[in-house]
Amino acid sequence: MTRRSHRRRRKAGAIRQLPWQTVTNRWSPVEVLSTDEVEIIIDAAMTILETQGFRYLDNHSRVILEKAGVEAANEDGMTRLDRNMVIEATSTIPTNITLRARNADHDLSIGGNNICFTSVGGPAFVSDLDKGRRPGSHKDMCDYLRVVQSLNIIHQEGGGCFEPMDLPPESRHLDLYLAQLTLMDKNAQAYALGRTRTIDCLEMNCIALGLTRDELEDNTTVLAIINTNSPMQLDIPMSEALAELSQANQVSCITPFTLAGSMSPATLAGTLAQQTAEVLAVATLAQVIRPGAPLMYGAFASNVDMQSGAPALGTPEYAKMALASAQIARRLGMPFRSSNTTTSNCADAQAAYESQMSLWGAILGHAHLVNHAGGWLEGGLTASFEKLIIDAEMLQMMAETLKPIAINEDELAIDAIAEVPPGGHHFGTAHTLQRYETAFYTPILSTRQNFESWQEEGSIRSAERANTIWKQLLAGYEKPAIDPAIEEALNDYVNRRKQEIAN
């Protein structure tokens, strides 16, 4: 990227934002478990797999495992896994993953100290302050992806910001992939519900990147979230997606959905043990399918509200579980995924502090992927345009916080300190003027207006300011360059597949 195009991007839609960057956390990870405690949890997970087993609902998965020497499932459908077999199978999981994007500048490096921020995926609803909360539509989805593309701090799209309910369910994944690959040039997750939706994603990414299916195996491009049906089973659509992804050397981010007290025991230790057992069960299957297939250890461990049974997110338990899960994933040598979550129904203080709790848990634990990092609201039922902007501000702040403090003679500024007498100020010194533009973080959303001028301008809260900002970004959106032949080929693919599905 030239310096000029770089600068232009920063000013897209007249919103000043940080440039595209790799976010790196050089701090030591915060550890909430001792080394021994990590081993105790992994041992408990192995014990669960050995003595209780895991239910692979897909017949084909069981056949594959049996061929690899695993004992046939019991009458209750539970497949017991020997711990030595699990340890051996999972020893081939790569610790680092490079994920390609249509624009090579947006390739992602997952692992080490890097953190990748992904926009929200999966809600049924969309909301903004103008039209309120409503079922997602294709038009809204495209607009949402345009804003995601415009926000430099978002590294990856989350596999569909919300369902376009105005499109037929059998083929709407094709419209999603087309939008991801033409309106954006960032990496985008797959909508991996079943075999054909996964294959369509692989095929369309091949077209977009100019790769054959064989070449795709050397160019990891597609990542999908593979949720278990906690407790302790993997359903058929997820099994199919896992198989397709693994065979093609693409990434399965294995994520149990464990709300302690409901899908797992009402303790954090028990939930960690169960979650680890589930990840290992699915990881073992994937490594049997293709040793070395890239996988991630995903955690979505929180608790239910014990009064109402409702999910509780962005809680103290959520933050602690992110930290503890990250430790277990590190010990297993698997890249780790966490999320940015809240149960709030609007982009208010609760949404912000629950998201912060989630983000700090992810970042301090050295999560490699923060799913739902931008836009999530209402426990994941809604993707909010305003929350996306609030989250982008918070993500930018995190990225800035992680940047080292420069310590050198010039920065120590002893001469500048000598220059300003007691009671004076540094506004006009040469030292300050040299740094005028770049010294400190410039926010997207936060105001530093004093109360009087803020009040005069209408006492505009952050959610309302965010509303203005996403519209500015949308108005300033520029479709990223694409070879017309590739775009045509993508359209042809979608049209052909839609006809096939209709017949």
Contacts (CB under 8 A) with its own copies, residues 121-140:
133
Q: How far apart are CA 403 and CA 397, in angstroms?
A: 10
Closest contact distance (angstroms) between CB of 327 and its own copies is 10
Does the protein bind its own copies through residue 68 (CB under 8 A)? no
18-37 binders of its own copies (CB under 8 A): 27-28, 30-33, 37
Type of residue at 355? S
Closest contact distance (angstroms) between CB of 381 and its own copies is 7
SS3 233: strand
375-394 binders of its own copies (CB under 8 A): 378-379, 381-382, 390, 393-394
Toward its own copies, which CB reaches closer, 294 or 361? Answer: 361
Does the protein bind its own copies through residue 75 (CB under 8 A)? no
**What is the greatest pairwise CA distance in the chain?**
84
Closest contact distance (angstroms) between CB of 227 and its own copies is 13
Toward its own copies, which CB reaches closer, 408 or 503? Answer: 408
Q: How far apart are CA 283 and CA 56, in angstroms?
A: 12
Kindly tell me which residue out of 67, 218, 437, 502 binds its own copies, with binding defined by CB under 8 A.
Answer: 437
336-339 and 295-298 beta bridge pairing: parallel
Handedness of CA 18, 392, 255, 250 (dihedral sign): negative
CA distances from 347 to 134, 149, 354, 378, 462 (A): 16, 21, 11, 9, 9
258-277 binders of its own copies (CB under 8 A): 260-270, 272-274
Does the protein bind its own copies through residue 458 (CB under 8 A)? no
Does the protein bind its own copies through residue 256 (CB under 8 A)? no
Does the protein bind its own copies through residue 408 (CB under 8 A)? yes
Closest contact distance (angstroms) between CB of 206 and its own copies is 35
Closest contact distance (angstroms) between CB of 288 and its own copies is 20
Which two tokens mark 135?
A: 């079922």
Q: How far apart are CA 257 and CA 229, in angstroms?
A: 7
CA distances from 258 to 142, 242, 270, 423 (A): 31, 19, 10, 57
Toward its own copies, which CB reaches closer, 67 or 451? Answer: 451
Task: Tell whether omega for the bond before 168 is within 30 degrees of 0, i.e. cis.
Answer: no
227-246 binders of its own copies (CB under 8 A): 229, 231-233
CB-CB neighbours of 102 under 10 Å: 24
Does the protein bind its own copies through residue 14 (CB under 8 A)? no
The H-or-E segment that residue 387 falls in is helix 385-401
Closest to 498 (Cα-Cα) out of 207, 198, 171: 171
Does the protein bind its own copies through residue 185 (CB under 8 A)? no
Does the protein bind its own copies through residue 73 (CB under 8 A)? no
325-344 binders of its own copies (CB under 8 A): 343-344
Which residue's entry shows tokens 């989250």? Answer: 391
Which residue's entry shows tokens 């010990």? Answer: 331
Closest contact distance (angstroms) between CB of 391 and its own copies is 9
Toward its own copies, which CB reaches closer, 249 or 262? Answer: 262
Kindly tell me which residue out of 425, 458, 475, 484 binds its own copies, with binding defined by CB under 8 A.
Answer: 425
Which two tokens mark 200?
A: 């369509």
125-128 and 114-119 beta bridge pairing: unpaired
Toward its own copies, which CB reaches closer, 39 or 492? Answer: 39
Task: Tell me the backbone φ, ψ of residue 498, rounded to 5 degrees.
Answer: -65, -40
Kindly tell me which residue out of 3, 130, 427, 484 binds its own copies, with binding defined by CB under 8 A.
Answer: 427
Strands of 105-182, DSSP E: 108-110, 114-119, 125-128, 132-135, 156-157
162-181 binders of its own copies (CB under 8 A): none
Which range binds its own copies by CB under 8 A, 155-163, 244-252, 331-339, 432-440? 432-440
The answer for residues whose C-beta is within 8 angstroms of residue 126's C-beta and 6 or more apart is 133, 134, 135, 136, 137, 140, 141, 144, 161, 162, 382, 383, 384, 385
Does the protein bind its own copies through residue 212 (CB under 8 A)? no
Does the protein bind its own copies through residue 247 (CB under 8 A)? no
Kindly tell me which residue out of 161, 312, 328, 373 binds its own copies, with binding defined by CB under 8 A.
Answer: 312
Does the protein bind its own copies through residue 255 (CB under 8 A)? no
Kindly tell me which residue out of 42, 55, 119, 158 binds its own copies, with binding defined by CB under 8 A.
Answer: 55
